[in-house]
Amino acid sequence: MPSFLRKIRMARWRDAAPNHQWLAAGEIPADPVCAFDTQNNSMSVYIADSGIRTVEQLAAAYTATRDSLQPFEYVIFESDDVNRAGIEVAGVEGTTPDAESNKLHRDLVKISAQKLVALTSRMLQRDVAEICDRVNRKDVASHIVRGLKEGWLDATKINPKVLESAKRDARIQ
């Protein structure tokens, strides 16, 4: 069963690990739930353990179409977590500049608030430091430049502002 990767804002997860005294038994903090930022009761994920693309390559592909070059913060969770939360997985091709990463894209669909809380609760049973991580900006930049050189990123689909920043940051290293 695959693991899924989802871009998040890590600050919303970082403080989820300690037990908050104000939470009742069985409750979880709201911030990690809100970090998922669903759209139309769905959320975009990538298969993280395919052996086709590394997390750094997925980060480069994802970031290449954004408004600016930024660190890539993410959480990895198990498909079993998704299944047990009652969330459906749809095979929807991604729209990054990397055709292989696009094949690893999935949408989690028909997500109710209760299902999202159930998913997050299952994830919070693990050590947050083990499921959340970050690819720093310079590493994202290096992978974008590498992807162009190796031909797995399509330069015509990369935001020009991101490309310019990536080339500049990769030179500085």
One-letter amino acid for residue 66 of the chain? R
Taking alpha carbons only, the member of 38, 23, 1 closest to residue 112 is: 38
E strand segments, the chain: 3-7, 43-47, 72-78, 88-90, 105-109, 132-135
One-letter amino acid for residue 167 of the chain? K
Instruction: Output the CA torsion sign for 86, 106, 5, 34.
Output: negative
Q: What percent of the chain has pLDDT over 70?
A: 96
pLDDT (tens digit per residue) in 112-150: 999 999 999 999 888 888 889 999 999 999 999 999 999
Residue 83: per-residue pLDDT: 97
In sequence order, what are the beta bridge partners of 75?
6, 132
| Structural domain for 111, as ranges | 3-19+26-172
Predicted TM-score (pTM) above 0.75: yes
Query: Cα separation of 76 and 121, whole Å?
Result: 14
Give the Å distances, CA to CA, from 34 to 12, 47, 125, 160.
Answer: 8, 21, 17, 30
| Chain mean pLDDT for the chain | 91
CB half-sphere exposure, 126, CA atoms < 13 A: 15
pLDDT (tens digit per residue) in 72-102: 999 999 999 999 999 999 999 999 999 999 9
Q: How many domains does the chain have?
A: 1
